[in-house]
Copies of this chain bind each other. A is one copy, B any other.
Amino acid sequence: MGYVHIGFTDSPHVQQSDRSILTRVPLRPRTVQTTFINPADLSRLVHVFDILAAVVFAVSGALVASRRGMDVMGFMWLAVITGVGGGTVRDLILDVPVFWVQNPVHVAACLATAVVMHFVAPRVESRYRTLLWFDAFGLALVTVAGTAKALDIGAPALVAIAMGAVTGSVGGIIRDTLGHVPSVLLRHEIYITASVVGACTYVGLNGLGLARVTSMTAGFLVTFGVRGLAIKFGWSLPVFRESATRERWKNARRDSARDDP
**How many identical chains are in the complex?**
3
Complex-state Cα separation, A197 to B181, whole angstroms: 29
B156 in contact with A70 (CB, 8 Å): no
B93 in contact with A95 (CB, 8 Å): no
Q: Which of A20-28, A45-53, A119-127 contacts B (4 or more CB under 8 A)?
A: A119-127
With A3-B9, A185-B77 known to touch, is A67 a contact of B100 (CB < 8 Å)? no
Asked if A30 CB lies within 8 Å of chain B CBs, one says no
- Which residue of B69, B88, B101, B239 is within 8 Å of A159 (Cβ)? B101
A236 in contact with B73 (CB, 8 Å): no
Residues of B contacting A214 with CB < 8 Å? none
B192 in contact with A100 (CB, 8 Å): no
Please, what's the 1-or-0 string for A151-184, where 1 marks a CB less than 8 Å from any CB in chain B? Answer: 0000110110010000001000100011011110
Asked if A34 CB lies within 8 Å of chain B CBs, one says no
B193 in contact with A68 (CB, 8 Å): no
- Which residue of B5, B68, B192 is within 8 Å of A6 (Cβ)? B5
Asked if A40 CB lies within 8 Å of chain B CBs, one says no
Please, what's the 1-or-0 string for A227-254, where 1 marks a CB less than 8 Å from any CB in chain B? Answer: 0000000001111111001100110010
Residues of A within 8 A of B (CB): 2-6, 9-12, 65-74, 77-78, 80, 88, 92-95, 97-98, 100-104, 107-108, 118-119, 121-123, 125-126, 155-156, 158-159, 162, 169, 173, 177-178, 180-183, 185-186, 188, 192-193, 196, 236-242, 245-246, 249-250, 253, 256-257, 260-261
